[in-house]
């Protein structure tokens, strides 16, 4: 009987709690029901601009000719709540100034609780921007930056979100991002430049007696420069990491005859086996043949394309409000700043803006409006799939081709590492060069993130091809 009484008491308490009229928040979705700039309220608007909400963020794009200082918002909230725009009570039909860095919308509920929202408004193409906003909302990406060119003319460049989670500054097209393994595409361009300047041949022995990296160990003397470029050197990164080698330490240890015995090693040229250390070796090769630090040689090559921002990054967290964003990983236990990027400029260590990445693509796409920094022969050689005996068949020297349906008929590189994701591509059939970066990463086994990133990238390219 006592047990039955206790059960009835618990049910009664739960029922009473459920009957209370306290609003349910659900990340603000039920509190703020609509934020928009309707064409009926704003002179000259040809369509309604409706915000896409991601937790407390409101992303919204208005047409290019909009006057941001005189916008009439349509804000709808839960019954009984009051709305404040930057601490000023909202009045329906009144004009407000939305030209600042970010406006704050505060919803005060009947019970006194408050919910704050941050408006990030920009001028641009809503068809493109809404695709990016949906992607950011799905994966909680802090910042995204894109740049697209059509027939070697800049078509659309935009930046979204916040480079740091405290919302203190907005992402701009000048914000720098780590580009992870896309750094290898730039290293391949450096190697091809060395080849054109007569500093090396792709058939040169990379390591060993008489090799570019001279040592007496004959275990690696079958590895050619082209094998390192095409990820078929036979080097296994897992074995190298298991023996606690940094890139510098590994290159130094290659002269040790016992090193070959502790590594699993396949015959060079036979199959694709991804190796960051292989591109670390290429970085050292550039330094040896050019007699310059890799970062300096990269600067020199980029300068040929009129680019100044692409550079080897640092390991430390960038100063908030500076030029480089802060990096975040899906796994909160990951620390993107534990990666030694300054030692791996040729593999994963470059930082860049998408705008400058796209400018670089225009200088190697064999077009006529922008001078190329490589000969047509070198470009063709770099993009052509390497003739592996087995394994992945669609990788050339630093570039993939025809790997996924979204990027079919493109030369591209997609890469991710803790805290950053990057993608750049040349679409020869449509004349589009494009780049995308974000300061977020998902584990490699979460394939929808990669697929969705590539799908977003290709969907924007389709819009650019049709409209620009």
Residue range 291-306, pLDDT digits in tens? 999 999 999 999 999 9
CA distance to 163, 178, 180, 336, per residue, from 318 (Å): 10, 11, 16, 12
Token readout for 416 is: 């991710």
CA distance to 99, 217, 344, 349, per residue, from 182 (Å): 35, 31, 12, 9
Mean pLDDT of all residues belonging to the chain: 88
* 340-372: pLDDT as tens digits: 888 889 999 999 999 999 999 999 999 999 999
CATH number at residue 89: 2.60.40.2340
Distance, in Å, from the CA atom of 383 to the CA atom of 395, rounded to the nearest integer, reads 8
CA 460 to chain centre: 15
Same domain, 235 and 330: yes
Q: Return the beta strands (E) in 300-405 as ranges.
A: 311-312, 328-329, 350-352, 400-401
Assess if residue 327 is contained within a domain.
yes
Structural domain boundaries, residue 56: 21-124
What's this model's pTM, rounded to 2 decimal places? 0.89
Largest CA distance in the chain: 95
Same domain, 196 and 345: yes
Kindly indicate the confidence band of residue 29, based on its pLDDT and cuts at 50, 70 and 90.
low
Same domain, 113 and 185: no
* 194-229: pLDDT as tens digits: 999 999 999 999 988 899 998 877 778 889 999 999
Task: Answer yes or no: is pLDDT of 20 > 60.
Answer: no
β-bridge mates for residue 260, sequence order: none
Assess if residue 44 is contained within a domain.
yes
Same domain, 96 and 219: no
CA 112 to chain centre: 41
* 35-61: pLDDT as tens digits: 999 999 999 999 999 999 988 999 999
pLDDT of res. 187: 98
pLDDT of res. 433: 98
Assess if residue 172 is contained within a domain.
no
Kindly indicate the confidence band of residue 255, based on its pLDDT and cuts at 50, 70 and 90.
low
* 100-119: pLDDT as tens digits: 877 899 999 999 999 999 99
Assess if residue 142 is contained within a domain.
no
Same domain, 256 and 107: no
* 372-430: pLDDT as tens digits: 999 999 999 999 999 987 766 689 999 999 767 789 889 999 999 999 999 999 999 99
Same domain, 113 and 198: no
Residue 59 has what DSSP assignment? E
- Per the structure, the count of domains in the chain is 2
């Amino acid at each position: 009987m006592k047990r039955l009484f206790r059960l009835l008491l618990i049910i009664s308490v739960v029922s009473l709690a459920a009957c209370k009229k306290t609003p349910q928040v659900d990340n603000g979705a039920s509190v703020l029901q609509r934020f928009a700039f309707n064409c009926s309220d704003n002179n000259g608007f040809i369509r309604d601009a409706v915000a896409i909400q991601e937790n407390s963020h409101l992303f919204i794009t208005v047409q290019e000719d909009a006057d941001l200082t005189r916008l009439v918002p349509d804000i709808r909230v839960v019954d009984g709540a009051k709305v404040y725009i930057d601490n000023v009570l909202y009045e329906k039909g009144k004009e407000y100034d939305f030209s600042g860095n970010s406006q704050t919308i505060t919803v005060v509920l009947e019970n006194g609780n408050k919910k704050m929202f941050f408006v990030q408004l920009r001028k641009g193409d809503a068809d493109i921007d809404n695709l990016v906003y949906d992607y950011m909302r799905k994966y909680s990406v802090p910042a995204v930056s894109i740049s697209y060119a059509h027939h070697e003319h800049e078509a659309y460049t935009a930046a979204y979100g916040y480079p740091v989670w405290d919302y203190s500054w907005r992402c701009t097209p000048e914000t720098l991002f780590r580009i992870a393994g896309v750094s290898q595409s730039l290293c391949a361009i450096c190697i091809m430049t060395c080849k054109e300047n007569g500093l090396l041949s792709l058939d040169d022995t990379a390591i060993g007696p008489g090799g570019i990296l001279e040592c007496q160990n004959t275990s690696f003397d079958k590895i050619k420069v082209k094998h390192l470029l095409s990820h078929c050197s036979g080097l296994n990164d897992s074995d190298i990491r298991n023996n606690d080698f940094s890139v510098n330490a590994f290159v130094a240890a290659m002269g040790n005859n016992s090193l070959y015995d502790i590594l699993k090693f396949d015959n060079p040229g036979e199959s694709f086996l991804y190796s960051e250390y292989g591109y670390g070796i290429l970085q050292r090769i550039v330094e040896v043949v050019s007699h310059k630090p890799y970062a300096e040689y990269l600067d020199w090559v980029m300068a040929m394309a009129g680019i100044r921002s692409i550079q080897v990054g640092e390991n430390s967290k960038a100063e908030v409000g500076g030029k480089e964003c802060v990096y975040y990983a899906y796994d909160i236990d990951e620390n993107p700043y534990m990666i030694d990027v300054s030692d791996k400029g040729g593999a994963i260590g470059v930082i860049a803006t998408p705008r400058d990445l796209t400018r670089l693509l225009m200088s190697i796409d064999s077009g006529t409006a922008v001078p190329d920094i490589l000969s047509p022969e070198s470009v063709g050689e770099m993009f052509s799939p390497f003739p592996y005996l087995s394994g992945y068949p669609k990788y050339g020297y630093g570039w993939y081709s025809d790997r996924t349906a979204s990027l079919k008929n493109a030369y591209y590189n997609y890469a991710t590492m803790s805290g950053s994701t990057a993608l750049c591509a040349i679409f020869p059939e449509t004349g589009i060069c494009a780049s995308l970066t974000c300061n977020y990463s998902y584990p490699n086994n979460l394939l929808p993130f990669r697929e969705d990133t590539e799908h977003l990238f290709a969907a924007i390219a389709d819009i650019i091809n049709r409209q620009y």
